A and B are shown apart, each in its own frame.
Chain A
Amino acid sequence: MNTSFANSARMVGAALRMLLVLTVLTGVVYPLLVTGIGQAAFQHKANGSLVKVDGKEVGSELIGQNWNLPGTDKPDPKYFQPRPSNSAYDPLSTGSSQLGASDPRLVKRVEAARAQVAAFNAVPESRVPADAVTGSASAIDPDISPAYAGIQIDRVARVNRLPAAQVRRLVRDHTDGRALGFMGEPRVNVLELNIALTKLARH
């Protein structure tokens, strides 16, 4: 009994020392090595792909934003609008609604969103795509589908007093295809599109 207790104690001691050594290796050396490589080779991306306009940081390419009238939660018709968000695009509160695909509350929300998007863009409800009326997984989805960008073109052009053809070209230029041609879905980055739109409207 005594020797088996001593054996176990020795084993626990070795286990503790092993954990500490491996903590140094995988918890200090490994992340610092990767951070070193990342910061040296891909500094912009490693720090969050921040976007500047006129020298000021206005967001991250990868993180979606609200495009509301200043000080309100009403969408600003001047801009392309993003998908609904579970957290009003707050990156410190990511995640989705978690409602089931047949949940009555989700049904109500989708109905309301469809009516709102259709009215806001003056299109029939049948043209409103799925991503425009559903919350994303992250709540900070930076993208919308080309179809959702498509139904917003006329409204955006009208409010910014731009020719619709010019805005349509802008959307086309900011539509990303699938990665390598087949991975993921085609998408339009809302922040980049709205920055380009702002520049266009200014001239």
Chain B
Amino acid sequence: MDQFTINLLFVGASFALYIGIAIWARAGSTSEFYAAGRGVHPVTNGMATAADWMSAASFLSMAGLIAFTGYDNSAYLMGWTGGYVLLALLLAPYLRKFGKFTVSEFIGDRFYSPTARLVAVICLIIASTTYVIGQMTGVGVAFGRFLEVDSTTGLLIGAVIVFAYAVFGGMKGVTYTQVAQYIVLILAYTIPAIFISLQLTGNPIPGLGLFGTDQASGEPLLAKLDQIVRELGFGEYTAHNGDTLNMVLFTLSLMIGTAGLPHVIMRFFTVPKVSDARWSAGWALVFIALLYLTAPAVGAMARLNITQQFWPEGTAGQAVSLEQIENDPAYDWMATWQQTGLLGWEDLNGDGRIQYYNDKSAAMQEKATAEGWAGNELTNFNNDILVLANPEIAHLPGWVIGLVAAGGLAAALSTAAGLLLAISSAVSHDLIKGQINPSISEKGELMSARVAMAVAIAVATWLGMNPPGFAAQTVALAFGLAAASIFPALMMGIFSKVNNKGAVAGMISGLVVTLVYIFLHKGWFFIPDTASYSDADPLLGTIKSTSFGAVGALVNFVVAFTVSAMTKPIPREISELVESVRIPRGAGAAQDH
């Protein structure tokens, strides 16, 4: 059986499973559509949260970004897990106690202001839509590869499937399907990692293998990797090559963004009790950590494998020949990825070999002149393909490759569906029912939720064709937006007595400064030609647009406290609401308006 058929089989079987579960648990009433009737066990909820959370960014993109940058991109690892500590300690139990369906409902009630609710809805829609763009980028890569088409065609096919899937699901379908998706995606991520770790280090646990010994050279794996990338003119893998301030702010933005994203917070509305909300965050992180502890090993080992494939005789010997790339089955992955348009090479100096090195390094330019090289001949290596290509590069069996294709799609699909659900509930429940037409029928509300999903996915697909960065980078921008707008409002709502005007002013200023900063660097509305700055040389010192969320959050806090101090204090009943949210006793089932 050829690889294409195997991939199709794995992807088809996993889809049949998800759709089967979605139909079995098809949403009936609006209450079930949003929050699954609150009967979800913390472990189940944790697993579903993990699937919801780990998207194309975590699964497909992150290891690639770590592989090609090294230590500096540890920010993704710490940021996307550390946020759960904030969520568990600062938000989840209180929002569960409050007992409403959506994040913006909490903001609207706590800040006794329809305006606050409206602003929160807008913030959520902007952050979630940006997030979906990142997912669609990943969907394009995954579908492009397994259908063997270019990534744009893959994206269009993927968009149709994501839409159909999210519309028929609803949260209940999504909760149980996501448990199935979690299992598929974690197997797909860890099985190839275990194989590769065994091949390279003899240790079956990738996180330990990363700090183990490279069996081929007898040296520690990381020391070997540092050495070969250094010899090709790249920055050492384990070294801190970037800027410290930017790394700190980037990590912080991802952490507080995690605690401000609606599709994750919504999960904690679905557990039966406040005490369960605390455990749920822990269980979610257990299941997430399985992937996050493996990802750095995947990155480092893939970088080592790829570099050694291009320099089969070592960095001092001859580069790989074109003839070998064409004929040796070990290099088959290059031809398959070339057709997606995400991998490219060119024999610039016409010596029949492909030299892969850093042509921007001064030392390497000297060596290149001496050797007659004409620049880096691996002209295109999209970081997002690394995880999917990894098992092919390591010559793992066909079924592993099929499994990874299914896992990548599970990751992208589950998160895209969760986000679309958050967007649609924001529009239909908060915007239309809460503001425009409170007497709308249940049927009308469900219909408007579906229309909102369709619009969101159309926008995300269109922008996903020309994304502002790799999947994980685009997603990082979404986190920055959530960090700057939603997290501070929620935290102040629980831990302080900031008033309505303060909260509204804070959210607006946090969102606007962050959005403007991102647009200045990534182009207005992510249209690339309209950017005035770039992340290589950012507007403010060394702060890249992906790291600005933490600054935006600070602006939000400062503005909110200042405005609140100058205006009327909160009324007594709101003060009592804050007191009651702080105490678990009396948490009933969630109430609709």
* Genuine A/B complex: no
Please list the residues of chain A having a beta carbon within 8 angstroms of any beta carbon in chain B. Answer: none
